[in-house]
Structure 1
């Protein structure tokens, strides 16, 4: 067994799992600081990798990658807003579960995956398990910061709508033929453009020069390392294994929010969250590995 490849396989889960904790640990930051800091750091990381690797880059590949990056920002902004509304430990299981439902469905409809009857049965059963898992993790926890039906349902609707951005961002690269590093670079360019427009339209251009934005850049570095590790792991491990293991980030971020960020839940809320996590992990394996 190549232990280095095994270590790299788990880097995406670690990096993406630590991203929410890195963002939440920056005091007095808002969603504009968080998204600008993340995107700028990821872009600089991508530029450095491009200068080292010198991969081929063509206009169609670049433009579609830019579109994927812009879609990613929609999903990430929704996630960052939700952290402050219902906490990291409540946001991540819901967001991850919705992505695990959406991305396989796009694969079936647009890319004709799950071609056998058996794979369709296991896949759709896995999606049902994921839906149940999301329902458990989205249960209102009265008496805590995430409780209250208005706050809970409003944020759930926000997550559902913005998760379409994540789903598009994950699906577009499947249709592209070219260097993974080039795709990653194009995505970060799209991220930079869309975040600039977002801060311009909302009147928050000042976020580009604030200290909390710089501190939020740690999340961008984590994102860049995780994304490149994921791209590399597809080679020795295959898409299915790399994708499933990367989704373990939800366990790290959710438990990390409870342990390190001291996010409070009632006993009932904690039980719901843990049951939902287990179901999401099981559903992820059913929709990807058992095919």
Structure 2
């Protein structure tokens, strides 16, 4: 029970990042920079408490991973700008799950048992169906320049997914570092990546400082993800963390005023259900 309670924290923390940051405001580069500053502050506190052993390779790969992560987050913020949080977040999370699982299964051989392939393929099919319904739009609804805006959103999601997947593969499949040790080098890389997106024109404006709160939320989610995995196992921790997409969808609609027609609400409900079941099945696959 304690592990499940721990797993709820990253679900809420990570699921709230999109709508909280968009509620605070700012351009995608300002949102990303502010978030990384908060993550760096959190990482420094963790380092001062834990004092983990550091190495040159940990610093090098940690910084590279952080820069890849910042590319993923910047693209996600841009996609939210064009598509809305309630559409961009499930598409982003789903794309990471689908492509990440396929890369893990095909390239790194993470699926070896028939049951894993059966459940994994079923999960991926459900995620793809979830993609379709969460992004489906009502033809009767009046949109302004919809195709153009959605095109920009999908392009942003493309490099966002590439950044997130590269970061995940680097840390999960290639280099295996202690999460509490690598969090500081990674945070340094995150800030450096965000500075690149700002073209090194650094301005600590109020909206940047406020977005640091989102970085603290990200850090808290990370710590409780580790605690949940230790107490309840990786399958539970992973599955619950992916359910944060529900929080982001509800937050986008309730707090950011993203409107949905009756048809779109029905499609969104179907998409969420498919997404949740798919994510849980992938968690089960990881437990084998």
Question: For residue 59 of structure 1, what is the aligned residue in structure 2?
Answer: 56
Q: How many residues align?
A: 284
Cα distance, 1:150–1:257 mapped onto 2, change above 3 Å = same
8 Å contact kept, 2:80–2:153: no
Question: For residue 136 of structure 2, what is the aligned residue in structure 1?
Answer: 139
* Deviation digits for residues 216-237 of structure 1 (CA, Å, limit 9, x no counterpart): 1111110010012112222222
Question: For residue 31 of structure 2, what is the aligned residue in structure 1?
Answer: 34
Question: For residue 97 of structure 2, what is the aligned residue in structure 1?
Answer: 100
Deviation at residue 61 of structure 1 after TM alignment: 2.2
* Deviation digits for residues 69-128 of structure 1 (CA, Å, limit 9, x no counterpart): 111111111111122212111111111111111221222134321111121121012111
Structure 2: state its 5+ residue gaps. none
Q: Distance in 2 between matches of 1:107 and 1:146?
A: 40
Q: Distance in 1 between matches of 2:72 and 2:130?
A: 20
Cα distance, 1:146–1:243 mapped onto 2, change above 3 Å = farther
8 Å contact kept, 1:141–1:148: no
Secondary structure of 1:200's counterpart equals: coil
Q: Distance in 1 between matches of 2:145 and 2:284?
A: 35
Q: Higher mean Cα deviation, 8-17 or 106-115?
A: 106-115
Structure 1: state its 5+ residue gaps. none
Secondary structure of 1:263's counterpart equals: coil
Question: 2:156 aligned with 1:158, yes or no?
Answer: yes
* Deviation digits for residues 127-160 of structure 1 (CA, Å, limit 9, x no counterpart): 1111111111122345366872222233123213
Secondary structure of 2:198's counterpart equals: helix
Q: Higher mean Cα deviation, 259-268 or 242-251?
A: 259-268
Deviation at residue 282 of structure 1 after TM alignment: 1.0
How do 1:179-218 and structure 2 match up within 5 A?
179-200=178-199, 205-206=201-202, 208-218=203-213
Question: 2:266 aligned with 1:267, yes or no?
Answer: no
Deviation at residue 214 of structure 1 after TM alignment: 0.6
Q: 1:255 aligns with which of 244, 250, 260?
A: 250
Q: Distance in 2 between matches of 1:147 and 1:139?
A: 16
Question: 2:277 aligned with 1:282, yes or no?
Answer: yes
Q: Distance in 2 between matches of 1:268 and 1:47?
A: 47
Which structure 1 residue ranges, 4+ long, deviate > 6 Å from structure 2? none
Q: 1:235 aligns with which of 208, 218, 230?
A: 230
Question: For residue 219 of structure 1, what is the aligned residue in structure 2?
Answer: 214
8 Å contact kept, 1:173–1:183: no
Cα distance, 1:144–1:75 mapped onto 2, change above 3 Å = farther
Question: 2:96 aligned with 1:121, yes or no?
Answer: no
Question: For residue 19 of structure 1, what is the aligned residue in structure 2?
Answer: 17
8 Å contact kept, 1:141–1:147: no
Q: Distance in 1 between matches of 2:252 and 2:160?
A: 22
Deviation at residue 279 of structure 1 after TM alignment: 0.7
Q: 1:81 aligns with which of 78, 85, 101?
A: 78
Secondary structure of 1:64's counterpart equals: helix
Cα distance, 1:6–1:132 mapped onto 2, change above 3 Å = closer
